[in-house]
Structure 1
Amino acid sequence: MLVFDGDCGFCTTCVRFVERYLRPDATIIAWQFADLGELGVTREQAEYELLWVDQRGRAFGGAQAVAKLLIHAGLPWSAPGLLLRVPPVRWLAHWLYRAVADNRGRLPGGTPACALPADRRPLQR
Structure 2
Amino acid sequence: MNSSVTGDAGRRVVLAFDGDCGFCQAAVRQIQRRASPRMEAVAWQTLPPELTEPHLERLDREVLLFDGDRVRDGGAPALAGLLGTSTVRTYRSVGRFLQLPLIRLAANLVYRWVAGNRQRMPGGTAACAVPRPHH
- Distance in 2, matches of 1:28 and 1:21, equals 14
- Which residue identity is paired with 2:46? F
**What does residue range 1-125 of structure 1 map to in structure 2 within 5 Å?**
1-38=14-51, 42-54=55-67, 57-74=70-87, 75-115=89-129, 117=131
Which range moves more in the overlay, 55-64 or 104-113?
55-64
Cα shift readout 1:33-56 (whole Å, capped 9, x = no counterpart): 112534795112211201122368
Give structure 1 stretches of 5+ with no counterpart. Answer: 119-125
- Distance in 2, matches of 1:39 and 1:115, equals 19
Change (3 A) 1:56 1:79: farther
Change (3 A) 1:5 1:52: same
TM-score, normalising length: structure 1:
0.83
TM-score, normalising length: structure 2:
0.77
Q: Which has the higher contact order (CA 8 A, sep 6+)?
A: 1
Q: Is the contact made by 1:51 and 1:60 (CA closer than 8 Å) also made in structure 2?
A: yes
- Which residue identity is paired with 2:118? R
Which range moves more in the overlay, 63-72 or 30-39?
30-39
Report how many aligned residue pairs link the two structures. 118
- Distance in 1, matches of 2:18 and 2:24, equals 6
More strand per residue:
2
- Distance in 1, matches of 2:84 and 2:41, equals 15
Q: SS at 2:34's partner residue? A: helix
Which range moves more in the overlay, 56-65 or 6-15?
56-65
Identity score, percent: 40
Cα-Cα RMSD: 2.2
